[in-house]
Structures are given as structure tokens and as C-alpha cells.
Amino acid sequence: MAGASHYSLPLPTFDKPVKVLIVVAPYYRDIADNLIAGAKATLDQAGATWDLIEVPGALEVPAAIGQAWRMANFDGFVALGCVIRGETTHYDTVCNDSSRGLTLLGLQGACLGNGILTVETYDQAAVRADPADQNKGGGAAAAALHLIALQRRWGGSRGNVGFRPASDETIQLAQGGDRA
């Protein structure tokens, strides 16, 4: 697309610390490393702190983010990885299901940026992952930061959306006890 331009929103600013979890599937290590570099640079530019974990593949990224969202104290999440079309339909399953999982988490209130590349060729992935070129890792981090800013603007997380372990009081009431 000759002459096409892309606009990126300026990064939000924060008055309280921001902590982000980067979850990466490093199947294509060099692509993953470039995505991570872009995400870290963007988070650092915004003054956010971050942790990084690796999971076996793109299908595990939403599961890891879901666990961290329920059990840890992160403000947002960056999903990174790369799926390159092969000779089987496995590509379609991995692309669709990882994206669906991340979308469902976002719709429930998790602030996340999706930087899982879904491409036809390695060369397409390399261009998209390169922090000096399309910088999709940085874009995913920026998306997470913008959603964190919106959540804070609108009053913060409602917390405990989804699975909640039962409290001792709930267990006692379920067993026929009273609130004494």
C-alpha cells in the first residue's frame, strides 16, 4: 500500500504506578525476542514496570493471562507470539482460539494488548516484530496501557470478575451454619 500512513495514539500518562505482565510464546525465538524488545521499550517509555513469563505456545497465552488476572496484581497484560501458516489446519485453530481467548478476557475487563502475529511467512513475521519497523510488540504494549488508562479513568477494576474461591463464611452458610 504505497502512501498508506498509520496513526498511533500518544502513550497515556499515569499518576500511580502501572505493572504489566508480558506473556510470550517463544516458538520462533528471534521473532519473540523482537516482540519482547518492542513491548519492553514501550512500557519503559510509559514508566510502567513489567514482568515476563514464557509459555509453550500461543494457545497457552490466554490461559496464563487468565490465571495471572485472577491470582496476581497486574494492571494489564501483553500477549506476544507468532503463528506462521503451515501445511495443515492447525494454523487456523491456533490463530482463532488464541485470539478468541484473549478477546474473551478483554471483554471481561482484563486490560490487554494482543501481539500474537498470525502470518503467512517468516519474512512477514520478521517485519512485523522488528522494533525498528512495524513494532507490533510495542503496539500491543501501547494497547494494554491505553486500556489501563481507560479503566482507571472510569473508576478502576470491578475486581474478582470470573472465578472466585469461596470464603469461609460462604462455606459455613452452604453447610447450613449461621453468621454468628
pLDDT, tens digit (0-9, with 9 covering 90-100), for 39-64: 999 999 999 999 999 999 999 999 99
For the segment 67-96, the average pLDDT, to the nearest whole number, is 96
Domain boundaries, the chain: 19-174
Per DSSP, the three-state class of 2 is coil
**Cα distance between residue 119 and residue 31, in whole Å:** 12
Architecture of domain 19-174: 3-Layer(aba) Sandwich (3.40)
**Cα distance between residue 116 and residue 137, in whole Å:** 8
Residue 5's pLDDT band, with cuts at 50, 70 and 90, is confident
Among 41-55, 62-76, 111-125, 152-166, which is the least confidently predicted range? 152-166
**Angle, helices 90-108/60-71, rounded to nearest 10 degrees:** 20
| Residue 147 pLDDT > 70 | yes
| Residue 164 pLDDT > 80 | no
Enter the pTM of the model: 0.85
Q: Which of 53, 56, 90, 171 is catalytic?
A: 90
Q: How many CA atoms lie within 13 A of 107 on its CB side?
A: 6
Q: What is the dihedral of CA 27, 82, 138, 132, to 10 degrees?
A: 90
Q: Is 6 a catalytic residue?
A: no
Residue 86 and residue 29 in contact, taking contact as beta carbons nearer than 8 Å: no
